Amino acid sequence: MELAKVNIEKLEALLRQAGELFQDREAAGCVKIKGEADYVTEVDYRVQQFIRGRLEADYPQVQFLSEEKTNQEIDKSGLVWILDPVDGTTNLIHDCHASCISLALMERSEVVLGFVYNPYSEELFMAQKGRGCRLNGKSTAVSRAARMEDSLIAIGTSPYYKETADKNFDIFKRLFMDCQDIRRSGSAAMDLAYVACGRLDGYFERNLKIWDVAAGMLLVREAGGSVLAFNGAQAGNDMVSDIAAGNSVIAGLLTEEYL
């Protein structure tokens, strides 16, 4: 299947329809505990079921990888949809309105299409490989910040991995002393989308799953930014990653001086 055969408008409409499920507070309150500080709600399952059903009907030859399913059978060398039905589940549980749907298409281990949709703000970010990043149809770009003291940086606390807290918070303190300020949204996909439109100058977090970041990483890169591993190399599409994102200067500063 060629990317040109994917109906972008139909996918955007699908995400907007799925986003309506976020408004069901009863379903959002139906919570299961998957692990330490790791939750899933009935909304997660309903969004996944809704999107998966449509994708498998329209693109039966494409595999499906998602947070709320087993994925042992996935062959990343083929075509794969990558879905996080609710990125920011804890926010959803608390009605914080900082949750989103993240959907990406991977072809031969490379992400070629990505969407991040916040149903509360009705902001839909979309990027195609080689064709830029858009927010509700308008082109976006990463910020031009060139100094850490001028930069607003988003952090991730890796709440499922409390053993990294001391290391993380030491970095947060050093960064806080040097940057303009720091933010913590609780949604990796939204943080990456905000880097892609220049609202945030940088973002970093450990232990991110591929469904958290596949779409967002493409957004940042197509908006002119960089997504790096903590060692400074280009971040890949691994099942678990530590990443830093921003324009090339800020992403570089994060990896060289803080991570």
116-143 per-position pLDDT tens digit:
999 999 999 999 999 999 999 999 999 9
Parent domain of 167: 148-258
The answer on 43 and 108 residing in a single domain is yes
Annotated binding-site residue numbers: 67, 84, 87, 212
Given a contact cutoff of 8 angstroms between Cβ atoms, the answer to whether 77 and 109 are in contact is: yes
State which of 139, 172, 187 marks the end of a domain.
Answer: 139
The answer on 231 and 189 residing in a single domain is yes
18-34 per-position pLDDT tens digit:
999 999 888 787 878 77
What integer pLDDT is reported at residue 73 of this predicted model? 78
The answer on 13 and 127 residing in a single domain is yes
Q: Give the global pTM.
A: 0.96
The answer on 181 and 94 residing in a single domain is no
Annotated binding-site residue numbers for Mg(2+): 67, 84, 87, 212
CATH number of residue 152's parent domain: 3.40.190.80
The answer on 8 and 133 residing in a single domain is yes
DSSP secondary structure of 78-134: SEEEEEEEEE-HHHHHTT-S--EEEEEEEETTEEEEEEEEETTTTEEEEEETTS-EE
CATH number of residue 17's parent domain: 3.30.540.10
Lowest mean pLDDT among 69-78, 100-109, 173-182, 230-239: 69-78
Q: Is the pLDDT of residue 66 over 70?
A: yes
Average pLDDT, the chain: 95
The answer on 172 and 127 residing in a single domain is no
